[in-house]
Structure 1
Amino acid sequence: MAGRRKPHFLTDQAGFRSASYGPFILQSGFQPIFSQDAEGRLTIEAFEALIRPMSNGQRVSPGHFFSLVEPEDAVFVDTMCRELHILNMGKLGRKKARLFINFNPSLFHELAEIDDEADRMVSVAIEAGLRPSRIVCEITEQGSGDNSVLNRLVSSLRARMFKIAVDDFGADDSDIARVTELNPDILKFDAAWVRRFTETSAGMGLLKLMVERFTSQGITVLFEGLEEDHQVDFCSEIGVKLMQGYALARPEIVPTSFSERFPEFPDRPEPEAVYHAAPAANAEETGGLPRRSGNAAAPFRRAATFGKRTR
C-alpha cells in the first residue's frame, strides 16, 4: 500500500527529526496552547504541531507544499507529518504538555485503514516515550462528509486512549450537530469567527453562552488565533480554559525556546485536571514574546501584544 511505506527521517545533533519528500525538507513547528490563572500567569498545556516545509533553503508555505503532494502519496505524507511531530515532541522532554496533531478523515477509504493508522500512532507514541492520552487528535473539517469514516476514526482513536478535538467550530447548525455526535474532549473555536464575534457586545454575549454550554457538557473550549490582549482577557472572563495565538506566543521550529521561557513545574496538576476542570534565538518568526528576566523558575506573566498573524 502506497500510504504504508516507511518515512525517511533525518536526525540532527540534538536528536530532533526532520523528514524529506521530493525536494522538500519538512520540520516541526510547535505553537503553545496556554491556560491562564486569575493573575495572568501562563502555563503551557499543549502544543499544536505545524508542518514547516523548506525547498532549496527557502521556506515554503504549508498550503503550497500540500498542493504539490502527489495524490497517491497523500496518506503517506499525512502520516509522516504526524509521526515527525510525535517523535519531536518526545525529544522536547516536557513531561505533561499535550500535543495536538491533525487527522483528515477524507484520506481514509477503508475502515480497516483507520484501525491500522491508530495502531501505528500508538507505536510511534511509545517510541517517543509519550502516553497516547497526551496526544490530541484534531479532526479537520474537510473530513466531516462521510459519517461512517468520521465516527470510526473517532472511536478507534478514543479506544486507544487518544484525546479528540473538533477543529474550526463556527456555530453553524452542522458544526453543532457534529459536536453533539462526536462529544470531543476539546472544541477549538474558529479563529476568524471568534475575532468577528468579539467586535460587538452581542457577539461576545453569544460566545459566553456557547462556552458555558459546552463547558457544562464536559467539553474543554479552546480559542485560537488570539491577536490582541483584550481577546485574551475576554477568554478569562467567560471561562475559556485554553488559548492560543500570536498575542501569547508565535510558533517555533524545534528545538524551541519554550521550555526556557515557560518551564514546567513539578507540582502543577496533570493535563487531565485542566482539560476537564470547569524573541527567541530560533523563533520561527520575529516578534515573539520576550525572554523572562530574573528567577528562571518564576511564573511568566503575560506581556503586551506582539504583532498580527501574517498567514
Structure 2
Amino acid sequence: MPGRRDPHFLQDDRGFYTTSYGPFMLRSAFQPIFSQNKHGILTIEAFEALIRAQRNGQPVSPEHFFSLVEKDDAVAVDTLCRELHILNMGKLGRKKARLFINFNPGLFDAATDIQAEADRMVEITVKAGLRPGRIVCEITEQGSRDEAVLHRLVAALRSRLFRIAVDDYGADDSDTRRVDELKPDVLKFDAAWVRRFTETSAGMGLLKLMVEQFIERGITVLFEGLEEDHQIEFCQEIGVQLMQGYALARPEIVPRTFDDRFPEQTPAPAADTASQFRNQLPGGVTPQEPATAYMQASSPRPHLARRAATFGKRTR
C-alpha cells in the first residue's frame, strides 16, 4: 500500500522466515494438499498456508490474533501474512508444488490500490524464487461488500498469472453465481455441505455428477476436512482431484518432514523459474496446468482403519 513501511522478516536457525506485528511473532504453517492415483498412492500437489501467532512465547489462535489487529492495520497485516508464506514457500525447496494463500476481499474497498497490491505480490513471489503460476489466491468465504472491488481484485491477480480458488463451495445460488463469475482454477468444496450429501446414495451420486461437471469446465476440484480413510476412498471413487485433511497430514510450521514421507521425485524443468516471468508481467497468459500433470509416484499412505465418520473441519 502507498506509504506503508516494508515489513521486517527474520530467518530462524533453519532458514525459514518469521515476522512480527506489535507483540506477536508470526510464523507460517503449511498443510499438504494431495492428489491420489488409481492405486491410492499420494503425491503432494500443493500446500495451504496458515498463520501461527505467539505472544510472550505462548500460542495465540488465528481467530484471536486477527480479532486484535487494529482496523487501520487489517489490510497491511493480511498482506504481511501472505508475503511471509510466499517467502517460506521459496525456502521449502519444492520445485512444483503450489501454495494456497488466503485473500479476504472484504478488507478491500474502492480506495484500495489493488493494482499496487497485485504488483507487490509479483515482487515478493519473484524474490522468493517462485513463479506466479505456483501461487493460488484463495478467495475466502467472508466475501466482499463491493462486487466491483472483488472482480477488480481477481482480475488484477489473474492478469499477473496468479491462480484463483473459490473457497467453501456449497452449491447455493450465491456460490454457483460466484463460480460462474470468477471462473476459478480451483474449487474447494465446503466440508459440512459434502457431509450432508454423503449421507444418502442419491446425494453421493449427485455429488459425483457435480464433480464431473466442474472438471469438464476445466476447474480443479478440492475436498478439504478429510478425517477418515473411507472419505479418501470416496474422493477417489468420484474423481476428486485434490484432497486435504487430518487423515492425510496435519499442518506443520514451515515443514520439512513431509519431504521424508512424500519426496519430490522429478527435478524442476528449466521453465519453472521466476526469471522466466520477469518480462511477462503484468500482462500475458500461460496455459493452464492441471493438477494431474504433476502426479508423481511417492510412498503409499499407511492404511487407516475404516470408521464411520463424517466430513468436517477441525480447529487448526
- The TM-score bracket by the shorter chain reads 0.7 to 0.9
TM-score of the superposed pair, with normalisation by structure 2: 0.86
CA RMSD of aligned residues (A): 2.3
Q: Deviation string for 1:24-60 (max 9, x for gaps)?
A: 1111000000000111110000000000111121211
Residue 177 and residue 238 in structure 1: after superposition, are their counterparts in 2 closer, same or farther (change >3 A)?
Answer: same
CA distance in 2, matches of 1:268, 1:130: 12
Q: Over residues 139-171 of structure 1, what are the superposed CA-to-partner deviations in whole Å (9 max), with x where a residue is unaligned?
A: 112124421011111111000000000011011
Q: Work out which structure has the larger RCO, using CA pairs closer than 8 Å and 6 or more positions apart in sequence.
A: 2
Q: Distance in 2 between matches of 1:43 and 1:221?
A: 16
Q: Which residue of 2 aligns with 1:84?
A: 84
User: Can you list the C-alpha shifts for 1:201-245, whole angstroms capped at 9, x where unaligned?
Assistant: 222122111111111111010000111111111111111100000
Alpha-carbon contact 1:3-1:73 (below 8 Å) kept: no
TM-score scaled to structure 1, two decimals?
0.88
Deviation string, structure 1 residues 96-126 (Cα, Å, up to 9, x no partner): 0000001111111236611111000000000
SS at match of 1:165: strand
Task: Look up the match of 1:49.
Answer: 49
- Inter-partner Cα distance in structure 1 for 2:54 and 2:112: 33
Change (3 A) 1:58 1:84: same
Relative to structure 1, the CA distance from residue 215 to residue 145 in structure 2 (aligned partners, 3 Å threshold; closer, same or farther) is farther
- What stretches of structure 2 of length at least 5 have no aligned partner? 273-286
SS at match of 1:48: strand
Query: Corresponding residue for 1:290?
Result: none
> How many aligned residue pairs are there?
292
Query: Equivalent residue for 2:227?
Result: 227
| Secondary structure in structure 2 of the residue aligned to 1:142 | coil
Counterpart of 1:6 in structure 2 is 6
1:241 corresponds to:
241
Contact 1:83 1:124 survives alignment (8 Å): yes
Displacement of 1:299 after TM fit? 2.2
2:260 counterpart SS class = helix
Identity among equivalent pairs (%) = 70
Q: Where in structure 2 are the equivalents of 1:43-192 lying within 5 Å?
A: 43-110=43-110, 113-192=113-192
Question: Which residue of structure 1 lines up, in the alignment, with residue 26 of structure 2?
Answer: 26
Matching residue's letter, 1:275? A
Deviations 1:179-220 (CA, angstroms, capped at 9, x unpaired): 011110000001221223222222212211111111111101
Q: Structure 1: which 5+ residue stretches go unaligned?
A: 278-296
